[in-house]
């Protein structure tokens, strides 16, 4: 009798504990956080505005109240970094004996005055007319090394569009020089002058140190920036509140910080990050990712747009890049007794795995995925002033946050480690 009773007792005890932990994540608290982040007085949380600074202050307060610690090397929860915005003022190039027009030269560099010759040993890349221009170009836009990229003249229209792409640069990043030409010169002289503007940006990062596995990291993240104030819609609303995109994800990160801080049972170190500048190029997550040895990051849960029902209805979400690791399988296993379901990304054609803040670490092999419910083919208020808290299902959003908390527990404890990303 006692042997039969014991498993039942264990099951009952675990159920009680799960229920108790489950109650640490409440709809009223989730709604409170979401309402503040998506309020009009945040002015749409656009980078370089008073609104995003106000949002940053709020997130710092919440992290502090949760008992988190700053990231090692940071004096506080703000992780500051600088971007360089460059405006071309002069460009010239000679390839062997050919003098080029300035329209044939594009420089992506943070330097105000740059000269390049063969003596500088830039790696040379040739983009042939049969190549995939977009794929190759974006590959080199993301690198930190010095490249000279010679683009075949058949891509002249694409090249002209690229010239209008004014991408901010990290200070000290590599120089990428694009030249429109059909030749492969032996000798060349390239000179670029730019007007430089430095812009300061801020991630908010808090840490819950692990117990036995302090040097292994699990990351929960979201971006807290949005589009700011723009053209009024038909109702005269000009504030792009970004309640779903991505105050919902930021709300989840804050809520999860409170949850795990109360449990105090994480063996691995948990890092909670609110990224800036996702909407203008994912620069916040790119900078954040540079601070870590990717081999030490066991998993990343990036959370983006979880305020509306997924295409499968309530109690469901999808994971971008689901097929690239076994992380989704681990999460679902931990929800075995739950109604909640994680699904593979239903919009593979949109390449969402490489379009959110998980991408930088994922490209380095980290099982870094984005969890979302957004119906990317029909999300009515995506990047619209109508993206307000009144359009969100707060009860369902709370259940999604609970599901993330419960499904991640064996990864946080060190019992499970997802496979590295497969390409």
Give strand pairing partners of 87: 195
Of the candidates 190, 244, 220, which has an alpha carbon nearest to the alpha carbon of residue 299?
A: 220
pLDDT score, position 22: 63
3-state secondary structure the chain: CHHHHHHHHHHHHHHHHHHHHHCCCCHHHHHHHHHHHCCHHHHHHCCCCHHHHHHHHHHHHHHHHCCCEECCCCCCCEEEEEEEEEEEEEEEEEECCEECCHHHEEEECCCCEEEECHHHCCEEEEECCCCCHHHHHHHHHCCCCCEEEEECHHHHHHHHHHHCCCCCEECCCCCEEEEECCCCCCCEEEEEEEEEEEEEEEEEEEEECCCCEEEEEEEEEEECCCCEECCCCCCCCCEECCHHHHHHHHHHHHHHHHHHHHHCCCCEEEEEEEECCCCCCCHHHHHHHCCCCHHHEEEEEEECCCCCCECCECCEEEECCHHHCCHHHHHHHCCCCCCCEEEECCCHHHCHHHCCCCHHHHCCCCCEEEEECCCCCCCCCCCCCCCCHHHCCHHHHHHHHHHHHHHCHHHHHCCCCCCCCCC
Q: Rounded to whole angstroms, how far apart are CA atoms 151 and 181?
A: 6
CA distance 396 to 378: 19
Residue 372 · residue 179 · CB < 8 Å: no
Cα distance between residue 97 and residue 55, in whole Å: 55
**Bond prior to 296 in cis (omega within 30° of 0):** no
Residue 148 makes CB contacts below 8 A (sequence gap 6+) with 116, 122, 123, 124, 125, 177, 179, 188, 190
Contacts of 212 (CB under 8 A, 6+ apart): 267, 414
**Confidence at residue 281, expressed as pLDDT on a 0 to 100 scale:** 86
pTM: 0.86
In tens digits, the chain (423 residues) has pLDDT values of: 344 444 444 344 444 444 455 689 999 999 999 999 999 999 999 999 999 999 999 999 999 999 999 999 899 999 999 999 899 999 999 999 999 999 999 999 999 999 999 999 999 999 999 999 988 888 888 788 999 999 999 999 999 999 888 778 888 789 999 999 999 999 999 999 999 999 999 999 999 999 999 999 999 999 999 999 999 988 899 999 999 999 999 999 999 999 999 999 999 999 999 999 999 889 999 999 999 999 999 999 999 999 999 999 999 999 999 999 999 999 999 999 899 999 999 999 999 999 899 999 999 999 999 999 999 999 999 999 999 999 999 999 999 999 999 999 999 999 999 999 988
The CATH homologous superfamily for domain 27-82+200-413 is Zn peptidases (3.40.630.10)
Q: Which of 164, 165, 172, 174 is nearest to 142 (CA)?
A: 174
Q: What is the CA radius of gyration of the chain?
A: 24
Domain extents for the chain?
Answer: 27-82+200-413, 97-186
* pLDDT value of position 5: 46
Query: Would you tell me the crossing angle of helices 50-65 and 248-263 to the nearest 10 degrees?
Result: 20
Determine how β-strand 188-208 pairs with β-strand 105-108: unpaired
């Amino acid at each position: 009798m006692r042997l039969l009773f014991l498993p039942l007792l264990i099951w009952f005890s675990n159920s009680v504990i799960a229920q108790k932990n489950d109650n640490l994540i409440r709809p009223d608290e989730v709604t409170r956080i979401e309402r503040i982040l998506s309020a009009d007085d945040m002015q749409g949380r656009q980078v370089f505005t008073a609104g995003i600074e106000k949002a940053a202050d709020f997130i710092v307060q919440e992290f502090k109240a949760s008992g988190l610690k700053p990231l090692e090397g940071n004096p506080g929860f703000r992780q500051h970094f600088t971007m360089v915005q460059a405006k071309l003022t002069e460009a010239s190039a000679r390839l062997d004996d050919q003098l080029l027009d300035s329209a044939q030269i594009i420089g992506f560099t943070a330097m105000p005055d740059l000269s390049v010759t063969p003596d500088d040993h830039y790696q040379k890349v040739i983009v042939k007319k049969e190549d995939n221009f977009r794929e190759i170009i974006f590959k080199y836009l993301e690198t930190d090394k010095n490249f000279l990229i010679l683009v075949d003249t058949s891509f002249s229209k694409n090249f002209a569009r690229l010239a209008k792409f004014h991408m901010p640069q990290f200070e000290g990043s590599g120089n990428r020089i694009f030249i429109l030409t059909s030749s492969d010169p032996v000798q060349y002289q390239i000179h670029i002058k730019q007007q430089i503007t430095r812009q300061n940006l801020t991630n908010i990062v808090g840490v819950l140190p692990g117990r036995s596995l302090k040097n292994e990291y699990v990351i929960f993240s979201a971006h807290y920036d949005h589009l700011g104030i723009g053209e009024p819609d038909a109702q005269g609303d000009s504030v792009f509140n970004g309640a779903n995109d991505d105050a919902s994800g930021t709300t989840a990160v804050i809520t999860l910080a409170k949850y795990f801080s109360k449990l105090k049972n994480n063996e691995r170190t948990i890092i909670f990050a609110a990224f800036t500048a996702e909407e203008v190029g994912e620069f916040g997550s790119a900078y954040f990712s540079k601070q870590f040895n990717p081999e030490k990051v066991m998993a990343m849960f990036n959370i983006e747009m979880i305020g509306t029902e997924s295409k499968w209805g309530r109690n469901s979400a999808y994971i971008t890049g689901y097929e690239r690791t076994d992380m989704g399988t681990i999460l679902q296993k931990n929800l075995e007794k739950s109604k909640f379901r994680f699904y593979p990304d239903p919009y593979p054609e949109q390449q969402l795995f490489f379009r959110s803040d998980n991408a930088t670490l994922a490209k380095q092999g980290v099982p870094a995925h984005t969890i979302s419910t957004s119906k990317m083919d029909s999300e009515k208020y995506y990047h619209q002033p109508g993206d307000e808290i009144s359009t969100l299902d707060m009860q369902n959003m709370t259940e999604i946050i609970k599901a993330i908390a419960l499904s991640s527990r064996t990864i946080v404890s060190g019992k499970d480690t997802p496979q590295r990303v497969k390409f």
